[in-house]
Structure 1
């Protein structure tokens, strides 16, 4: 597959690096130094120029492209790039936009703007936050098989009930699979004797009920409806509150600007909107911050998000989720005390990469910046799994593959060694990135 990417910022660079190993990739950017750096780091064709210019696109052989991805930081530039591409080719076009207003317009008309698929950065970040907030202790959450299967990533702390237990000792859940352990820079495929150590992250795949039970055992004080405080009425803050409200989770939202606070209060009838400064210690104490289960900081400034999150935790909030605009700050935020840092650009890059890979799979989740993937595969007659017990067929798969769950005719099937996989089953598998190409050819 030939992919043309316009924009070599954080999003475009991440997408290019993820796709270049298995596809032919060209990257266009108006900044020549970005292009040169990316060409040095990755096997791509780099072109300095304006992606809205037809001549520049033709220089990248856009007529031959299977997919064009417009990923600059400017919404209008991305839309014009896709529209220009449409004049010379039938390439599948993907546009990144920050504002959900463009997404709403696009959704009302098939291929509006000449765009086949649109990803709204702020809305996607809000969806990521809402998923994490809905599952106690989770670092990452994805749904598969129309909601019948859930994948989640959890950190193992010193105080975790499963710390220093073997997988066999920790595995007390009928419909849950311990798919992988992320330990420093390595991916460990767990066996019964594998010890879950403090500092590890564990990937589990199973029914939502089992995953939620596991989450609540990791954080036993989080049973019941969580007390959620959102700081900032930014686009991300607003959409987070709206998504939580739609899921029956009421939250409080703090916004300092009077007009914006009034606007959100009118739009979200089941969300309590407070007009104040969330970095004011007196205000937080007045609002009983010590009773807050999760604080989400969604201001338009990384430093303020960090300050508000750390202050809230210092005053007793149990968990902090922060929006981080700069990808370079994500590890720093989590190192100093923020529990989950959500970078909208990283989330967007993963979503676009995921979409390109869904050409071969029903659904894809990317783990830890492309260290592994979780795939949903519909089994056909060419799969090595079909009509065979799992214990027999896994011998034909790479060692970095774990079968996490199966669904059949809308029901969850617990994968065991003697389970026979049938044609038409949906199988959710964990795959190490080094095993991905071989596994994809066999699944």
Structure 2
């Protein structure tokens, strides 16, 4: 498929890198230096120009394109790009926006603005924060097969009971599969003799109860589940995160320094306690017993501020911290100094758009460790290489780097083992090394 991407920031670059091997990709950006760099770093056609102009879109081949993705950092620009593309072609358009109000306007009028699919960065980030918050030590969480299957990535600490154990020794869960292990810059496909070490990030796939049970077992809990949630910063992401927690029955606390903004969100969030204060004021934090929180979410405007707030929370004794980072290069720094999870809104957006581009052959996609591996859900057809034989037989013909994590069959969860036979119509959740993804998808 011919794909035109407008905007070569972190989102556009991540999407282009993911699609370059399977699609004919053209990237448009107004920055000549970025265009030159893309020309040499990716197998794409990079064009310097304004994506809102018809002439530029025509140069990019919009009339032959099957998909136009507008992902600049400006909402209005992205909407205009989609509208302009529609004047020359019936191409499918995707717009990235930050404001939820634009998303709600679009949802209220199908096809508004010439946009076929809209992705709201702030809402996606808030939903990611909520998913991660519910599991102790989880770095990433996603659901598959209509909620029947959960995937989670956990960090193993030196105090974790499974540190130093092999997968076979740790495998005492009825419906759980150990899929992969990330160790520094290495990715290891989990096998029975694979030993989990302190510092590893382990990916497990299985029933929600088993995944939660594994999470509970590998960390020392000081409370019975997630009860006290504190959000620092009423940025749009902070506001959306509070609303997400409200919708799931929580009563979070939100700290905002600006008087007008604090009053605005207090009126919009009836089940959130909004406190007007500077979150770096340690006396205020102690007085409000922030140290008793199960989780503190730093959602201020600025990576440095979020780092400072997270470190203060850790110093006070908060169990878990989640920080928003705009600069993806800071992710490793945040986690190195003790921040539990760093969430990058642009990365979440890129993942959602890539999921959508795979809709023709996968049910769902989750990218792990900056797309070093993926967990995909696929419905098995009659011609699939997986159906008919046992998993041991079927996977023997697949490249290294593939683990069958779970099977949904007629609404029931089947825990895969070597002797399990996959049938047509099964929904299979598969962990795949990104280096062999295209080969695996073609086979199954």
In the other structure, the counterpart of 2:349 is: 348
User: 1:24 deviation in Å?
Assistant: 1.3
Q: Does the CA contact (< 8 Å) of 2:97 and 2:120 recur in 1?
A: yes
* Structure 2, gaps ≥5 residues long: none
Q: Secondary structure at the match of 1:220?
A: coil
In the other structure, the counterpart of 2:267 is: 266
1:54-105 Cα distance to aligned partner (Å, 9 max, x none):
0000001111111111010000000000000001111111110010111001
Question: Distance between the aligned counterparts of 1:239 and 1:314, measured in 2?
Answer: 26
When structure 1 is superposed on structure 2, of 20-29 and 213-222 the one drifting more is 213-222
In the other structure, the counterpart of 2:371 is: 370
1:384-416 Cα distance to aligned partner (Å, 9 max, x none):
222322222222222211000011111111112
Question: Distance between the aligned counterparts of 2:122 and 2:280, measured in 1?
Answer: 23
In the other structure, the counterpart of 1:154 is: 154
User: 1:290 deviation in Å?
Assistant: 2.3
User: After TM superposition, which residue ranges in structure 1, 4 or more long, deviate above 6 angstroms?
Assistant: none
Q: Does the CA contact (< 8 Å) of 1:358 and 1:364 recur in 2?
A: no
Q: How does 1:26-65 map to 2 (within 5 A)?
A: 26-65=26-65
When structure 1 is superposed on structure 2, of 217-226 and 265-274 the one drifting more is 217-226
* Structure 1, gaps ≥5 residues long: none
Question: Distance between the aligned counterparts of 1:367 and 1:138, measured in 2?
Answer: 12
In the other structure, the counterpart of 2:253 is: 252
Q: Secondary structure at the match of 2:439?
A: helix
When structure 1 is superposed on structure 2, of 344-353 and 306-315 the one drifting more is 344-353
1:419 aligns with 2:413: no
1:94-151 Cα distance to aligned partner (Å, 9 max, x none):
1100101110011112211111111111111111111111212100011101000010
In the other structure, the counterpart of 2:123 is: 123
1:311 aligns with 2:309: no
Question: Distance between the aligned counterparts of 2:219 and 2:272, measured in 1?
Answer: 25
1:397 aligns with 2:363: no
Question: Distance between the aligned counterparts of 2:356 and 2:108, measured in 1?
Answer: 20
User: 1:303 deviation in Å?
Assistant: 1.1
**How many residues in Structure 1 have an aligned counterpart in Structure 2?**
443
Q: Secondary structure at the match of 2:94?
A: strand
Question: Distance between the aligned counterparts of 1:429 and 1:201, measured in 2?
Answer: 18
Q: Secondary structure at the match of 1:141?
A: strand
Question: Distance between the aligned counterparts of 1:155 and 1:59, measured in 2?
Answer: 47
In the other structure, the counterpart of 2:214 is: 214
Q: Does the CA contact (< 8 Å) of 1:354 and 1:366 recur in 2?
A: no
1:149-182 Cα distance to aligned partner (Å, 9 max, x none):
0100011111111111111111111101000011
1:187-217 Cα distance to aligned partner (Å, 9 max, x none):
1111111110111110100000101111111
Q: Does the CA contact (< 8 Å) of 1:374 and 1:430 recur in 2?
A: yes
1:302 aligns with 2:303: yes
When structure 1 is superposed on structure 2, of 48-57 and 183-192 the one drifting more is 183-192
Question: Distance between the aligned counterparts of 2:227 and 2:158, measured in 1?
Answer: 23
Give RMSD over aligned pairs: 1.2
Question: Distance between the aligned counterparts of 1:231 and 1:429, measured in 2?
Answer: 36
Question: Distance between the aligned counterparts of 2:58 and 2:225, measured in 1?
Answer: 57
Question: Distance between the aligned counterparts of 1:39 and 1:317, measured in 2?
Answer: 46
Question: Distance between the aligned counterparts of 1:166 and 1:17, measured in 2?
Answer: 35
Question: Distance between the aligned counterparts of 1:92 and 1:223, measured in 2?
Answer: 47
Calculate the TM-score normalised by the size of structure 1.
0.98
In the other structure, the counterpart of 1:437 is: 438
Q: Secondary structure at the match of 2:52?
A: coil
When structure 1 is superposed on structure 2, of 185-194 and 139-148 the one drifting more is 185-194
Q: Does the CA contact (< 8 Å) of 2:406 and 2:416 recur in 1?
A: yes
Question: Distance between the aligned counterparts of 2:393 and 2:70, measured in 1?
Answer: 44
